[in-house]
Amino acid sequence: MNTIDANITLGELVNEKPACMSLLERLRLDYCCGGAQTLAEACARRGLDEHTVCAVLEALEETPAQAPELEELDWRDASLGELCDHIVERHHDGLRRELPRIEELLRTVVRVHGHGHAGLHDLQRTFVGMSEELLPHLELEERIFFPAARKLEADGTLVDEPLIEKHEHDHEHVGDSLTALRELASDYRTDGALCGTHRALLQALRSLEQDLHQHIHEENNVLLPRVRALNAAASPTADGRR
């Protein structure tokens, strides 16, 4: 069993040990937008004992099959093109299917139960707002950012830093929306579901959150750092010969 250092960042931890994602999700330790924070820092923010968390994470390595719902692949060695293709096929395509389905579930639940549960209207507004931000973001990635990343890898054409920063900013917005959705939906607990449709909505929102966490992790902690590293290597100031 390998010892886990509490000074490792959450992004590095998930890159090295993808099976940890399931536990981090349950502990509400933000490894996507908050991937630059160390495990110790994240535990302190959540009021968790870092030594206990490290011990549980180490034990998890012995039973990785406990988290079959999360993809356990290391994309650090893939080409940027392969990583971009994976993000589109695994995450973007799934979002385009799931966002309309969840919005329809929300409409039904609000129509049936909204008169007696005002918080459902806030949940609906927050979800629709996030969806309206996400869909153009996916288009921007597929039409501009991912092709730019592929070209950078192919011939050294630099990717504009403001474009990278915009993606990070967009991801922060999504992270804030996910936090708000979880609070409005009472941590997605289904024991208080108002009906079968409401239960299905809560389960769908929980799954969406989990997928978006993994999605943003793959971009913030794998794709964007690699783009920045290649940018630095290809920059005219990278060495005296350019």
Residue pLDDT, tens place only, 42-90: 999 889 988 888 888 887 765 544 444 444 456 777 899 999 999 999 9
Q: How confident is the model at residue 117 (pLDDT cuts 50, 70, 90)?
A: very high
Burial environment of residue 97 by CB neighbours within 10 A (0 to 12, 13 to 18, 19 or more): exposed
- H-state helical runs in 47-195: 50-60, 80-86, 93-113, 119-140, 146-155, 161-184
Position 193 scores a pLDDT of 95
- The residue behind tokens 């390998």 is 2
Mean pLDDT of the chain: 89
How large is the average pLDDT for residues 143-167? 96
Token reading at 143: 């039409």
Lowest-confidence pick of 8-17, 112-121, 151-160, 214-223: 8-17
What is the C-alpha separation between 95 and 43, in angstroms, rounded? Answer: 30
- The mean pLDDT of 34-49, rounded to a whole number, is 90
* Residues 21, 67 contacting (CB under 8 angstroms): yes
Dump pLDDT digits (tens) for 166-201: 999 999 999 999 999 999 999 999 998 999 999 999
How many other C-beta atoms lie within 10 A of the C-beta of residue 201? 27
166 Cβ contact list (under 8 Å, min separation 6):
140
